[in-house]
């Protein structure tokens, strides 16, 4: 059998790395092309990809369409793993994929499910609707909240190496912390994706590939059991969260808002959607029409949150955004 050809945008980002690792380790024979901004071709991250046997190709999203079509011709699956800043770059990418006859387009998502009402602005419906207007074969993949976003600050400081700054506090809990959240290890995200993209059942479907369902309180309780330390929690009330969203919206409205400001807004909206409105639970995803990884891949050996915490405590995690 000839390899399944995959082109990935954003291969050096957080989700992109997880996906590339999984494609390389998959029993499926994947032929992988990473599409890189022309100006980034010689960056060390791309050198690393080349060493891993990945074809790195210069790709200018703002260049002529025919060039994009040429690059994508013969590609079976296009995976977009762009960050929120590159969301709208997916429009020309999708158009080129359609013209090139790509068999499956996977837009960037890989997050908890949310209501499709624009309340989480980084969940751009325009791209998804454009894909549908094109009648482009797609799979939309969400993976729940990443475990990596729930590494607690501990009195011992043992987990500091793997944490990244959180605008909501050291160990924030939205509302009363009793709303179910779907979760997965970012390291598993790619492994789920590697199975989903070659699965005929998932064509033109939304898929929820999550591992655990836990409340914020249960997550920190588990972290306490693993660490034998106490996780001091900061409860963020719905009112406070609303105020933070409103404030972040004000900042973003002003010209010159930084990417960090925008990310802060999106994160606040996400926290509200997940922690207050219960929009990441498998039950809600099912209501929205998602297929579940639990049904599709009952044999999947996923990393539990407890095992993730052990890795965090043992210094085995790679810090995100590093």
Q: Shortest Cβ distance from residue 206 to a second copy (Å)?
A: 9
Nearest-approach distance from CB 143 to a second copy, in angstroms: 20
Q: Give how many residues touch a second copy by CB under 8 A.
A: 17
47 forms part of the interface with a second copy (CB under 8 A): no
Ordered strands of the 139-142 beta sheet: 139-142, 205-208, 291-292
User: Of 135 and 253, which has the nearer Cβ to a second copy?
Assistant: 135
Number of other residues whose CB lies within 10 A of the CB of residue 275: 26
Q: Which is nearer to a second copy, 206 or 313 (CB)?
A: 206
Among residues 132, 201, 242, 316, the one that binds a second copy under rule CB under 8 A? 132
| Among residues 66, 70, 133, 232, the one that binds a second copy under rule CB under 8 A | 133
Q: What are phi and psi of 241, to 5 degrees?
A: -65, -40
Whole-number Å distance between alpha carbons of 229 and 225: 8
The span from the CA of 209 to the CA of 280, in Å, is 12
Q: Does 289 bind a second copy (CB under 8 A)?
A: yes
Q: Please give the Cα distance from 303 to 211 (Å, whole number).
A: 8
Q: How far is CA 138 from CA 74, 122, 235, in A?
A: 16, 19, 39
**Token pair in block for residue 265:** 């807004």
CB of 274 to a second copy, least distance (A): 14
User: Do the Cβ atoms of 206 and 290 come closer than 8 Å?
Assistant: yes
Q: Which of 24, 91, 198, 288 binds a second copy (CB under 8 A)?
A: 288
Query: Cα–Cα distance between 322 and 308 in angstroms, integer?
Result: 19
Give φ, ψ of 80 to 5 degrees: -100, 125
Interface with a second copy in residues 252-281 (CB under 8 A):
278
Q: Kindly state the smallest distance separating residue 180's Cβ from a second copy, in Å.
A: 13
Q: Candidates 35-43, 53-61, 286-294, 300-308: pick the segment binding a second copy (CB under 8 A).
A: 286-294
User: Which of 252, 172, 267, 258 is CA-nearest to residue 217?
Assistant: 172
Closest separation in Å from C-beta 132 to a second copy: 6
Of the candidate residues 95, 158, 205, 240, the single one contacting a second copy (CB under 8 A): 205
Tell me how far, at minimum, the Cβ of 136 lies from a second copy, in Å.
Answer: 9
What is the distance, to the nearest Å, from the Cα of residue 18 to the centroid of all Cα atoms in its chain?
10
C-alpha–C-alpha distance, residues 111 and 109, integer Å: 6
Restricted to residues 109-128, the positions that interact with a second copy (CB under 8 A) are 115-119
**310 scored as a contact of a second copy (CB under 8 A):** no
Q: Which is nearer to a second copy, 222 or 279 (CB)?
A: 279
Residues that bind a second copy (CB under 8 A): 115-119, 129-130, 132-133, 135, 204-205, 278, 284, 287-289
């Amino acid at each position: 059998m000839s390899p399944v050809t995959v082109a990935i945008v954003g291969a050096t980002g957080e989700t992109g790395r997880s996906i590339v690792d999984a494609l390389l380790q998959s029993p499926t024979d994947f032929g992988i092309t990473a599409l890189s901004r022309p100006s980034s071709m010689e960056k060390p991250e791309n050198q690393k990809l080349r060493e891993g046997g990945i074809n790195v190709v210069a790709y200018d999203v703002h260049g002529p369409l025919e060039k994009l079509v040429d690059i994508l011709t013969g590609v079976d699956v296009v995976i977009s793993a762009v960050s929120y800043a590159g969301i709208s770059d997916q429009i020309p990418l999708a158009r080129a994929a359609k013209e090139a006859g790509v068999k499956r387009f996977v837009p960037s998502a890989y997050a908890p499910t949310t209501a499709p009402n624009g309340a989480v602005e980084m969940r751009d419906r325009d791209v998804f609707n454009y894909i549908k207007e094109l009648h482009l074969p797609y799979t939309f993949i969400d993976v729940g909240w990443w475990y990596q976003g729930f590494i607690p600050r501990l009195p011992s400081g043992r987990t500091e190496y793997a944490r990244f700054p959180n605008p909501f506090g050291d160990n924030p809990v939205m509302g009363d912390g009793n709303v179910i959240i779907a979760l997965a290890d970012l390291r598993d995200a790619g492994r789920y994706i590697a199975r989903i993209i070659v699965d005929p059942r998932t064509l033109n479907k939304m898929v929820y590939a999550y591992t655990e369902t836990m409340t914020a309180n249960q997550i920190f309780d588990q972290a306490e059991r693993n660490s034998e330390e106490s996780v001091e929690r900061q409860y963020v009330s719905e009112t406070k969260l609303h105020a933070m969203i409103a404030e972040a919206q004000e900042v973003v409205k002003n010209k010159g808002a930084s990417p960090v400001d925008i990310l802060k807004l999106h994160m606040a909206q996400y926290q509200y959607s997940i922690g207050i409105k219960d929009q990441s639970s498998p039950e809600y995803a099912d209501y929205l029409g998602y297929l579940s990884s639990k049904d599709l891949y009952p044999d999947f050996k996923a990393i539990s949150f407890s095992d993730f915490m052990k890795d965090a405590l043992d210094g085995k995690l790679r810090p995100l955004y590093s």
